[in-house]
Structure 1
């Protein structure tokens, strides 16, 4: 807990830069350093290399960064706003609401335009966040009960999404990509609509972060110190909904990122909600970026869903974190 936030951010920045370079340089198509540099910075005269770099690899790297940043920040906000260590976009049903929208798009019930799907996914996740807000505002609701309700809502939304896909007989690999998370074949058309929602969610999070620390003291004392618990919690949870919806609209359900990232940050930097939220953004981006590299390269040319990678790596790490927090 004595680590410097500046040093941690610097380390994350270096690791992110290395991951971005690896994401652009490595892949099923073997591009030597000279061809890669020309495709990146000049008119290389190799149209195939330019398409691979600019239309596939760079958008996928950016997509991984956006998804990780969204989920990391959303998890941090949920945990702080609900005072619940199990706060997670997927466990609390925010991701499941967005997954229902994805399933409806895959089934042809709604349009598949990227802007429409992203917008409706965010709206669905915000509705889930408002439900959490109403539940969390009840004075007799303990964090444990809230977690149980959140898990139940999350399971129900995923079941609804699965039922939609089964009824529409959606191809099994599409369903796997939704429920296990995938960044395969993401283009700029997929990434561009999500970035404004990421910016909006983080801006709202910045507004709420300074007052989230006071919620730890209890609603009554926080109110006496000048922070409105209800408005602070509302802004934080709506922000988490915007961020979670943005992430799910781009990658599907990616587990453990929102749950684990804030806890790891707290182990190194303490419990200041402002610092945890700020550092969870690049930390979440780092997790998804490197998980996607493993998903893409481990069984090349085949791919593993990125959500499976985050779950396999995140589950034992979460057990370790839980033991450290005892």
Structure 2
């Protein structure tokens, strides 16, 4: 009964409209990503080339340069959005986010270590390596927060401290092994520029597979979000399920970081926006977070091309400019609530 009451709002019509608008925004953003750049292509022409490529230079631009870039942005955005929703649900912490908890910084450091010390590592090995680094960083942040008394703000502060420490490690490696680390800067730039079909093929199985598992676990996340006592009362092994969902959230974030680098605040902003539209039911929240996250990163990449054209602004800067004020407002709101 408690679960039913919590999942009853908002109305079905509002939820349906939210999904339609999110999907429309994503599709429109994908077409815009094909149309805008150093050389603009008309919307109708870009869409026509997407459906029926030809031998023209514009077709080459669409299929070789812009389409894989747009797909990488969509996959990474969906992964980060759902990762944030999972971590917020399982920790019952509205400030939980792959970036704030240090997951993205840990994944980036692991990738840098792989590039510097494992030069023969293939592209397929970067996601597991990023997963290990992100998981260690998240566990460290959680351990520190539990040691001083776990609250949303303390967990966020612990995550920021871990991210700063890990970031210092990354910079140290870049200084000590400058020549070897240079090749990793492309992957860790917080940008989707110059991404190719090879990047799509390396990240798509991890993100799409992780999203399918996340959607299948949505009901369990609903139960975990009620608290450990209620979860146990409903017959759920809360420790095991919490670990499973946390690992899945870290995996999705690590997969995104492995191909676009650390892009903060997507996993924080997107779940809150989705929750405001469809409520707290993760059976709806997770799919909408995937759509909104994908749309946000695709549109941010389009804006990154236009802000200082012909130069490109890293998409992480634009997301950070939008997400940082949101984080401050949310933290102040939680502080007043405490």
Using structure 2 for the length normalisation, give the TM-score: 0.85
Distance in 2, matches of 1:304 and 1:174, equals 20
* Aligned equivalent of 2:165, options 131, 134, 156: 156
Cα-to-partner distance string for 1:113-152 (whole Å, 9 max, x where unaligned): 3222233223332444555677788996444433333222
1:192 match: secondary structure = helix
Gap runs ≥5 in structure 2: 1-8
* Aligned equivalent of 1:247, options 249, 256, 261: 256
Distance in 1, matches of 2:45 and 2:17, equals 35
Cα-to-partner distance string for 1:7-43 (whole Å, 9 max, x where unaligned): 1011011111111111111211244568646644446
* Aligned equivalent of 2:39, options 29, 37, 40: 29
2:213 match: 204
Distance in 1, matches of 2:10 and 2:179, equals 50
1:67 match: 76
Cα-to-partner distance string for 1:228-258 (whole Å, 9 max, x where unaligned): 2112211110111110011001110101100
Matches within 5 A, 1:1-326: 2=10, 4-31=14-41, 36=46, 39-42=49-52, 44-46=54-56, 48-107=57-116, 109-111=118-120, 113-129=122-138, 141-169=150-178, 181-319=190-328
Aligned-residue RMSD, C-alpha = 3.0
Gap runs ≥5 in structure 1: none
Using structure 1 for the length normalisation, give the TM-score: 0.87
How many residue pairs match? The answer is 325
Q: CA deviation at 1:107?
A: 3.9
Q: Aligned pair in 2 of structure 1 residues 37, 253: CA closer, same or farther (>3 Å)?
A: closer
Range with bigger deviation, 239-248 or 270-279? 270-279
Matched-pair contact (CA < 8 Å) for 1:111–1:117: no
Distance in 2, matches of 1:138 and 1:108, equals 33
Q: Aligned pair in 2 of structure 1 residues 220, 123: CA closer, same or farther (>3 Å)?
A: same
Distance in 1, matches of 2:233 and 2:142, equals 21
